[in-house]
Amino acid sequence: MPRCPPYLKGKEIGLWYARQNKLKAKKPDALDEPTEFTLDQRIIERIAGVVKDVERLGDCLISRKRALPSESSEMKSPHLSLTSTKEEFSKVVEMVDEHAFGGTRINVGAENEKTPCSIELQRNEALDKSLRLEMIQKVQATKYVLMNSKRKNLPTFAQKQDFLKMSDENQVVVISGETGCGKTTQLPQYLLEHAVLRGYGSCTRIVVTQPRRISAISVAERVATERGQCLGEDIGYQIRLESVLPKRPQSSILFCTTGIVLQWFQSDPLLKSVSHVVVDEVHEREMLGDFLITMLKRILPLRPDLHVILMSATLNSEEFAQFFDGCPRLEIPGRTFAVDTLYLEDVLHRTGFEMPQDALYRFSKANRRMSQMRADSVGNPPITPGIRQGYKQWLKESTSRLSLGSRQFLEAMDLYSCPPPELVAAVIDYIIRTTSSGAILAFVPGLGDILDTMKALRSIDPALYAETRGGVMLHALHSRLPSARQRVVFEPPPAGKRKVVIATNIAETSITIEDIVYVVDSGQIKITTYDPRTNTSTLARVLVSKANAAQRRGRAGRVRPGQCFHLFSRFTHDRVMLDFLPPEITRIRLEDAILRIKALELGPVTSFLSSCMDPPDLETISRTLQFLRDIQALKPLVPLCNDSVPTAQLSRMSKRQRTRILEGAIEAATSGSPVAEDNDVLTPLGHHLANLPLDPQCAKLLLLGAFFCCLKPALAVSACLAFKEPFEVPLGSEALADACRIKLTEGSQSDHWAFYVALSEYLGLREHEKYGYCRKNFLNRRTMDDLCHLMREFVDLLYERKYIKSRDMDEVEANRYSHDVRIFRAILAGAFYPNLIMATARRTNPGRAPPTPFITTPLMDEKVTLHNKSVNALVRPQNRLWLTYFQKMKLDHDAAPTVFDSTLINARPVVFFSSKISHSQAVNGGTLVVDDWIKFKSGPRVPQLVESLKRCMERWLNEKVRYPGPTNWDASNMEGRILQTIVDYFINEAPPAFELGTNHNSKHRGFAHQQGQRPVTANQSQQ
């Protein structure tokens, strides 16, 4: 028995021991007996043979023209002691360079996302004269003259000379321009014309960054039209996997997403191929935007000829000017017609909106239940007792003119509440019926809210709002929709029809839909927040800021006087709303930023992030670093036992990275202070994760899917996790929808396998068959089309990086194991690690149904729940089961985190993809411990063999990501032998046994159970 805590005194000590004795005598509720982990003799022999050959061959595991040096080869590198001199240091760096001819190059491909022209801009007087004459001819052309007369009406024209003078005299200029002033379309053109006409066209290349794909395309098209050109002449755009580049880099404007420019830094660290960087929409404070301006601030002293223009649509330009050491600012007024602004109390008065009493009761109850959770959200403003009291007083004074039903609805709305889709639809319908023309733009938090609002409109008048033949054209606008779907919102409606665009915050500032007259603002926005204490992310609806509300209001009145219907009270706007939302970099997990810092070799992560405008929390940085180590994207630079740095490990880094780390080690040793806390380096896998525009775990799934030739399932799952799942459940049809979803899993006990089956079958259908298939299986047709489009994008990504030999996702060799659910489970376990949960059966009395099992994670025995939509909510383990998952979020304040998607996996992938394996031998047998929390019964040789096979996989993977290419399964090839041995290791394992329940009536099914159902295995379930 353990000793009592030392702080206990007197009687407390006796009580403590009494409680311990009681707990010891109590029969444990959970079955805590470790399961058996064994390998059959054939697998043992195969693993031993492969390990022996890998050790003999060293690093030469993949056929290539030039071999990498091996740590075990005859080329031995001396070690650099931390007390070495600078001279010794220089010699070692030079020596490492001589032998690192292969290890320093990471061939990531992705030509499409690198800079189209990385040649340094240089003055060419002959070209300058030619460009100047060409520009004079263009500005005299009829099309240009007609369009220029319209451009002169924009507010930016009055500030043109001031702007150009300010830009000439300063490296950095901050522009604060109200909506509609023309800053996005006009200022880059002014810069281009000014430079070319002065004779500097040959060294002028303007890049304009946009936070979203749709804005990069739409603004480029608009600017090209204004110049009387087609895209691809002087104007172009570049987004992920899609581009129309200018015909030459000189004298051009390129619109692109922020991530594209960040990719350029890897091949052009000082952006020498660019003369001007215009960063638009900086007020949004998205993470990539903050990262970019921090990078630009770093390189400006090294690029005195580089000009940076920051453009904000709000009045917070002062903080950007301060960040750039007090650079000058220019404010440009907007050009809009008068906008009549209505708040919620006004809207209810005009529309007379009321909810049925039963619906109002549910709405009010849900608001009260969610009130505390919303108050704890990072993005919501705090509400003091004084504000609460003031709101009650305001309600008494402001609701006298409302009907009883409208007054009850207003009282049911919490200060944080999101208005129901029925209210948004009612306001849109009110505008349609009381006005004769003008497009309508409605702002809602997310894609689900867009679909709910459309559904509510069609329930009001099915004929008027019909999808194809209605009198009103409904358009969805969301950042994840394909470009073609997004572009239609800019087109005018046919004669006699009205246009309604239902959008997220993408329509606030990134784009301009010219014919909008009416705006309906839900007052809500979805943001992602991260809690480092629980390592849990939350996608939460929060109240918009005053700046957001002003931007939305500014969308109305572009072409004539307009109206804005805010669905929040005037009290909420004046007394509750924040001026600006917290910057994204302070509220999310930072794996994307840290991977970029490492890929660009910017030094210690903490140092770089602390130089941002709003540095993130140190605990968030620490948690993210550990996460990236867990997924094998980062690897600590491990010192040897004699305090020296292993030079062979250094040979896998670039010269600049080695120099920085070794100099830091010498400086730390000389000063007596410890080495910096951030000494991680990117693994070869990490280099590729940094170059894939995806969540790291989704990116890893794509890579493993390509490596193990399980391509199509990996594409389908990655698409669903990166966008959204395709299932939709009509009210009252939950049981039927559950049955269809379970059928699509084909007995695999995998929510992710259902994604693959649904998309695979859908892709094989003819066009006229797709609607019926979706209706039969409760799938959203539009979402399915979007997911198929995304799968094709992912195929292009892998093809460009040379991991597959064809853009055909059905190519036979790439899908060698696509129909084997055992391999699918294994690569999911590897991709999603460390996202693992363990379900442990509880003890039960004979004759009674087993109770709900314990479901825990490695995080301090954290209890989690499975979402009732998961097919594994109906599974009961006989002893223990392991499940891997992608998304875990909290749905309520202080509630247990919920796992939304899961796949049942076997024990072997759990052990193989773990980060730590240990073994202890006892009289009654040995125990294999995985990651310090999962235990198996095992002999001493098995852990050693698995560790050796893991090392073979790591060495092969290091080679594979340096020299990418389709997997070679030839048994005479070492690559084929390694992978086939790993495949055999996975597939030759007995599936776990469990029981299935069939209870669909419970609101939260949990692990529902039908008493008397026989136990089944995963294989039997498939049959």
Q: What is the pLDDT of residues 278-336, one digit of tens each?
A: 999 999 999 999 999 999 999 999 999 999 999 998 767 889 999 999 999 999 987 66
Q: What average pLDDT does range 563-588 have in this prediction? A: 93
Predicted local confidence at residue 752, as pLDDT: 97
Closest by alpha carbon to 983, among 872, 826, 860, 851?
A: 826
| CA dihedral for 903, 907, 912, 916, sign (positive or negative) | positive
Q: Find all residues with CB under 8 Å of 617, minimum gap 6, and list them.
A: 532, 586
Stronger pLDDT, 1008 or 881, i.e. the higher one: 881
Cα–Cα dist 724/447, whole Å = 9
Q: Which of 105-109, 739-743, 932-936 has the lowest mean pLDDT?
A: 105-109
Q: How many CA atoms lie within 13 A of 706 on its CB side?
A: 28
Predicted local confidence at residue 112, as pLDDT: 46
Is residue 1016 a contact partner of residue 1022, using CB atoms and an 8 Å limit? Answer: no
Q: What are the φ/ψ torsions at residue 534 (nearest 5 degrees)?
A: -105, 0
For residue 892, the 8-state DSSP code is S
Write down the pTM of the prediction.
0.78
Q: Work out the percent of the chain whose per-residue pLDDT is above 90.
A: 45
What are the Cα distances from residue 963, in Å, to 60, 68, 393, 959? 11, 10, 70, 6
- Read off the pLDDT of residues 830-857 as tens digits, 9 standing for 90 and up: 999 989 988 877 666 555 555 566 676 7
Q: How far is CA 182 from the centre of its chain?
A: 31
Q: How confident is the model at residue 1014 (pLDDT cuts 50, 70, 90)?
A: very low
Q: How many CA atoms lie within 13 A of 354 on its CB side?
A: 11
Across the chain, mean pLDDT equals 82
**Which two three-digit tokens encode residue 184?**
């996005």
What amino acid occupies position 799? Y
Predicted local confidence at residue 730, as pLDDT: 73
- 81: three-class secondary structure by DSSP: strand
- Read off the pLDDT of residues 427-442 as tens digits, 9 standing for 90 and up: 999 999 999 999 999 9
C-beta atoms surrounding 2 within 10 Å:
6
- Read off the pLDDT of residues 347-393 as tens digits, 9 standing for 90 and up: 999 999 999 988 888 888 887 777 666 666 666 788 888 988 998 89
Helix axes 767-776, 781-800, angle to 10 degrees: 110
- Read off the pLDDT of residues 514-524 as tens digits, 9 standing for 90 and up: 889 999 999 99
Is residue 872 a contact partner of residue 885, using CB atoms and an 8 Å limit? Answer: no
Q: How many CA atoms lie within 13 A of 843 on its CB side?
A: 8
Q: What average pLDDT does range 79-97 have in this prediction? A: 37
Q: What average pLDDT does range 238-265 have in this prediction? A: 91
Q: What average pLDDT does range 649-656 have in this prediction? A: 51
Does position 825 have pLDDT exceeding 50, yes or no? yes
Predicted local confidence at residue 792, as pLDDT: 94
